[in-house]
A and B are shown apart, each in its own frame.
Chain A
Amino acid sequence: MFVFYKWAVKSFQRNLAYRLEYFVSLFNALLYIFIFTSIWQALMPENGARFGMTRQLMINYAVFVTLIKTTLVKSRDMIGTRVRTGEISLDLIKPISLPVMTLADAVGTVIFQIFSRFLPLIIICSLMFDLTIPPGIDIYFFISYLFSFLIFHAILFTFGVASFYIVENFPLWLLNTSCVSLLSGSIIPLEVLPDIVKKIALWTPYPYIFYLPTMKLLKNEYPVDHAILRQLFFVIISYAIGLTLFHFGKRKLQVQGG
């Protein structure tokens, strides 16, 4: 446990190393919020509702989903990159398992992003938009957020470990990015999608990453029944798939230079 904590702390420190990267990513998140809120401003009627949501609710959705996304999203495929460069050797010689290592790394990154990105962004957004304290901030939201993080980490781990089998996992990584964009609610809430797509989406882990916690935050109710249990189910399933792939993938691993 202490090693996990230490690893997470180092990950936090590493994220602090580059000032320019930090400010650019902050600016980038602001741009995203600006783009999405502008789009919803134009699309949503001033009065009444569309897709079961008011204009203000949709703008709030755009702001909060981007804020949550800012804390969770990692743009780099750590495992895939390390398999391609052969650096995975250095991870596998350590007396710590790769899944635990990547989880500790992700925890450090998320904590860094909460403090360094989420907090300044929410202050800026509260000045720019007519934001009120969301009604859904309670223990269930934080449990939901924790499960979102775990599902997301498990998915990224699984797609990363795919590189043990096929080395060049970039197409799969792109596929995952597209699924996140379409099905997770990170760009548009599931209400906007056709019913059939929404039904299919709910059978995948993606809506439980961003859509579910954001809706809970904004409406103080979950958009589906047994939401937390469903999230827990996908946490277990996603890790089961990732860890199984990892277990068998170790035998298939080929490392550059041997």
Chain B
Amino acid sequence: MSSNEVLIEVKELCKEFKILKKKPGLGGALMSLFSRDYQTIEAIKDISFKINQGEIVGYVGPNGAGKSTTIKILCGILYPTSGLIEVAGFVPSVDRKQFAMTLGVMFGQRTQLWWDLPVSESFDLLKSIYKVDNARYKKNLDFFNDIFDIKEFWGQPVRRLSLGQRVRADLAAALIHDPNVLLLDEPTIGLDVLARSRFRELIKMVNAEKKTTILLTSHDIDDIELIVDRLILIDKGTVKYDGTLKKFLKNYGGQKKLLVNYSNKPKIGKIPDGASVQSLKGNILEIKVDTAIISYHDLIKVIPDWGKVIDIQLESDSLETILSELYKK
């Protein structure tokens, strides 16, 4: 879906926060009334990336990595300490109002809809705020109704909606003005399996239909695996990986396994370099494979020497396992 036109450019981005150093105990608390020490925290140290128009990019990292801070800087809510940001030709913190017309944002834990009013009223207000003309408004509402079923709860106050309905309404609200860029911060948090799956379909559909550039942060690995083409992994405020999801899995998915089901208990002979036996449970042999040393092809030639093979399964680490290993480091 992506073109070669760069829509988001982040260069050497840094964000520091000054926070109060808490002194321990009651004495410390009393002391801090008279003398206060501050410390500077680098939420983002040196982040650079470019995103082309129409790309769907997953922005992942452990808690406190700087994901939400980046999103809020990209929205123009927070000011960067240093570095350059350009989104759709605007510097978000400088041209905030004009830039906001081209931006759609959804924070999964918050709603931009008016809590006490029917959904329709919030959309009516957003139509005026984003200066959406009647024809485009109607066209977009029809489109969202087709894919989000928003008419189902159109007249209900937002406080009465289920979480799934609220998320659908919020996503439609973020897109009502056809933004070029859609930023999604934990959009599926709290949703059940069905609603999450539905949400992922919707995002892909919006990207396909409207060519919207999407940056997604999520702790739900399925969101990343099933939605994005490209992954940016950050940790401690710096970029650890930026590339396709496929390449990431290839490069970091070190743990590859062969599960071999023999007809009888196998008699394991010489194990080739690059392979090691992980376990033998009954007739099932689990072999860890380092494909940089030995290929599956060569290993599979040796395996029948140890017994009659009924079935062979290839397994590699899931994205979740890879990420959790990387986060631990």
Contacts and interface: CB of A to CB of B under 8 A. Distances in A.
A94 B129 contact: yes
B278 interface: no
Given A255-B72, A257-B109, A14 B97 contact: no
Interface stretch (A36-44, A131-139, A181-189, A246-254): A246-254
Interface in A76-98: 85-90, 92-97
B68 A94 contact: no
Given A10-B125, A13-B121, A14-B116, A92 B75 contact: yes
Contacts, number: 79
Interface stretch (A1-9, A172-180, A204-212): A1-9
Interface stretch (B100-108, B266-274, B311-319, B321-329): B100-108
Interface stretch (B30-38, B76-84, B255-263, B293-301): B76-84
B96 interface: yes
Which of B71, B77, B96 has the most chain A CB atoms inside 10 A of its CB? B77
Interface residues of A, number: 28
A255 B71 CA distance: 12
Contacts of A92: 75-77, 96
Interface residues of B, number: 35
B71 to A, nearest CB: 7
Interface of A: 2-3, 6-7, 10, 13-14, 17-18, 85-90, 92-97, 250-251, 253-255, 257-258
B197 interface: no
Contacts of A86: 110
Secondary structure call for the B interface: mixed
B130 A95 contact: yes
22 contacts: A3-B128, A6-B125, A6-B128, A10-B114, A13-B117, A14-B116, A85-B110, A88-B77, A89-B77, A90-B105, A90-B112, A92-B77, A92-B96, A93-B112, A95-B97, A95-B100, A95-B129, A97-B97, A254-B17, A254-B78, A258-B69, A258-B78
Nearest to A13: B117
